[in-house]
Amino acid sequence: MNKSHWIFILTLAVLVGCKNDKPAKEAVSANSAKQPNIVVIYTDDLGYGDIGANGATELQTPNIDKLANGGVRFTNGYASSATCTPSRYALLTGVYPWKNKNAKILPGTAPLIIGTEQMTLPRMLKTKGYHTGIVGKWHLGLGSGHVDWNKKVSPGPNEVGFDYSYIMAATQDRVPTVYIENGDVVGLDPNDPITIDYKNNYPGQTSGKENPELTTMKWHHGHNNSIINGIPRIGYMKGGEKARWSDVDMADHFLKGAQDYVKKHKDGPFFLYYGMQQPHVPRTPHPRFVGKSGLGPRGDVIVEADWVIGEFLKTLEEEGLLENTLIVFSSDNGPVLNDGYYDDAVEKLGKHTPTGGLRGGKYSLFEAGTHVPFITSWKGTIKPGVSNALVCQMDLLSSVAKLVGSDIRTSDSQDILEAFLGSSENGRKDLVLEASAKTAYRKGDWAMIPPYSGKALLKEVNIELGNSSEYQLYNLKEDPSQQNNLAASNKEKLAEMVAGYTAIRGKQTEKIKEIELK
Ligand code: NG6
Ligand code: CA
């Protein structure tokens, strides 16, 4: 070894030594100065009262409760809509869903409803150096017309801001019943191509309608097309036998996807949108959760979801990420019991109240449609507590933008970061809520539903929709279950509410009655 070699080795030793001598504190602060990771855990049809933290006693959700108790539990947290697609649209784009006529419950063959040039939460984060991923339910459409499931399926999540996607296209009850990774159907055998039709069955194929004897889960309304894994679905599917998902393994499968994503991108910053399928129909708990709730499959899949969340949080902890990760937990819309299958959700409900006493449910303009569980958590940064601030999922885009130092804001997404972090009770002042293209209004302690034609009760699911020929006005503080319509007795408040509502909503398609002002 010559002199220069020695000098090189000595220099290296000094450098390594210096590195090791660096105080641990400095290393940590350098780390925490990094942009925080953002994780959104989004359940499907979970009601306000479905979690212990919000008062459920008949059902145990220890992991969600722990998240709530270690973070901010919102008592006035809202989805934007009482159904899935519009809520997801608003969460990702920061735009009211009723501004997009395609933001309604979509079939599995629907084209992408987010513009490929449109601002989205992941796209905003990408401008700040984030890696962005989605694992789980998508339901915002794929492709731009006819989708060939045997080729790259595009545009989709990867074209609206996600670097990585591992999704189910629509819902667990809709075809195609396959996972799609970055546009490719996972495990597809090219010799067994997939075709999908939402109108007609394929010759020689069985269906729930014609072959009920082949089903292991019975359909109640809708859900009588292709039978897959014994479950009759919405839509017809042919081929792709090997690629089809296993329903009972879906929770574990998405969990692993979410864990793998986190492990791979732990050096961050990353954004993960984790769209869980529970407790949407068909409710298919893994056998190890069957019977665990005593409430039938709906309760069992909530117990399963809670376990999954516990496992996922463990991964964040094991990777040392909890102190640098903002976690948001919520649901895309309110609860429903019988949503199309006979699965004992009604029969085994017992004393459990998925709505937590709110009126209505999924599909409804009443509170339970959109008033959902909402939790933010960030170890060491968010002080545990309960917040009454009015917050909406749609506000995440602008609020998170503020957090990461981005100037990006979208039209309807308000920066209420302080409320999300629990450091202020000032949320948004008011909010327009949607259900089946109809809208209601929330401001302060008040809720107003304009007059709408249409049935009052959606019989199949036994949920009050909120339609009435009269204005409805409720004081939610005194009357959270919306029993006393004060529209006739408090005209002044009604006028104020209608003014606030029309200022945002403008003229509606349905004619609103002119209210008589005193
Ligand atoms: C409805 C389905 C329901 C559910 C819902 C979408 C019927 C009769 N009902 O049309 O089962 O799939 O769509 O739910 O088909 S959501 O949570 O994705 O909005
Ligand atoms: Ca839903």
Percent of the chain surpassing pLDDT 90 = 91
Q: Which atom of ligand 1 is nearest to 339's Cα?
A: 11
Ligand index nearest the alpha carbon of residue 172: 1
How far apart are the CA of 129 and the centre of ligand 2, in A?
31
| Mutate-to-test residue for ligand 1 from 106, 113, 139, 173, highest number of ligand atoms within 8 A of CB | 173
Ligand nearest to the CA of 463: 1
Pull the structure tokens for residue 44: 């499907």
Residue 512 DSSP SS3: coil
Question: By C-alpha distance, which of 394, 449, 448, 451 is closest to 95?
Answer: 394
pLDDT at 160: 98
The finding on whether 262 has its CB within 6 A of some atom of ligand 1 is: no
Query: For residues 44 and 284, what is the distance between their CA atoms, to the nearest angstrom?
Result: 14
pLDDT at 510: 54
Band (pLDDT 50/70/90 cuts) for residue 29 is: very low
CA of 95 to the centre of ligand 2 (A): 18
User: According to the model, what pLDDT value does residue 350 have?
Assistant: 97
Q: Quote the ligand 1 centre to 440 CA distance (angstroms).
A: 21
In 10 A of CB 5, how many CB atoms? 9
Q: Please tell me the residue having the least CA distance from ligand 1 atom 11.
A: 339
Q: Which CA distances in Å does 92 have to 114, 134, 394?
A: 9, 11, 7
Average pLDDT value over all residues in the chain: 93
30-66 CB burial, b ≥16 within 10 A, e <16: eeeeebbbbbbbbbbbbbbbbbbbbebeebbbebbbb
The pLDDT assigned to 126 comes to 98
Does residue 434 have its Cβ closer than 6 Å to ligand 1?
Answer: no
Regarding the beta carbon of 139 and ligand 1, being less than 6 Å apart is answered yes
| Average pLDDT value for residue range 440-462 | 97
User: Closest ligand 1 atom, CA of 234?
Assistant: 15
- Distance (Å) from CA 445 to ligand 1 centroid: 30
Q: Which atom of ligand 1 is nearest to the CA of 83?
A: 19
Is a pLDDT exceeding 60 seen at residue 447? yes
| Residue with CA at minimum distance from ligand 1 atom 5 | 105
> Mean pLDDT over residues 191-205, rounded?
98
Specify the ligand 1 atom closest to the Cα of 332.
17
Whole-number Å distance, alpha carbon 339 to ligand 1 midpoint, is: 7
- Minimum-distance ligand 1 atom for the alpha carbon of 280: 17
* CA count, 13 A, side-chain hemisphere, 137: 30
SS3 241: helix
Q: Which ligand has the shortest distance to the CA of 168? A: 1
- Give per-residue pLDDT as tens, 90-149: 999 999 999 999 999 999 999 999 999 999 999 999 999 999 999 999 999 999 999 999
Closest ligand to Cα 333: 2
Task: Identify the residue whose C-alpha is closest to ligand 1 atom 18.
Answer: 84
331-374: pLDDT as tens digits: 999 999 999 999 999 999 999 999 999 999 999 999 999 999 99
Q: Is 339 in the pocket of ligand 1 (CB under 6 A)?
A: yes
Protein residue closest via CA to atom 6 of ligand 1: 105
User: Is any atom of ligand 1 closer than 6 Å to the C-beta of 436?
Assistant: no
Instruction: Report residue 506's pLDDT band, with 50, 70 and 90 as the boundaries.
Output: confident
Domains of the chain are 35-194+239-428 (3.40.720.10), 433-505 (3.30.1120.10)
DSSP state of 449: E
53-88 per-position pLDDT tens digit:
999 999 999 999 999 999 999 999 999 999 999 999
pLDDT band at residue 507 using 50, 70 and 90 as cut-offs: low
pLDDT of residue 28: 35
Note the pLDDT tens digit of each residue in 216-248.
Answer: 999 999 999 999 999 999 999 999 999 999 999
Both structure tokens of 371: 């008033």
252-261: average pLDDT: 98
Backbone angles phi, psi at 280, to 5 degrees: -65, 155
Confidence of residue 33 (pLDDT cuts 50, 70, 90): low
pTM over 0.85: yes
Task: Indicate the pLDDT class of residue 518, thresholds 50, 70 and 90.
Answer: very low
pLDDT single digits (tens) 284-342: 999 999 999 999 999 999 999 999 999 999 999 999 999 999 999 999 999 999 999 99
Verify whether ligand 1 is closer than 6 Å to residue 105 (CB atom): yes
Q: Is the CB of 84 under 6 A from ligand 1?
A: yes
Ligand number nearest to the C-alpha of 338: 1
d(CA 117, CA 492): 43
What pLDDT is attached to residue 5? 52
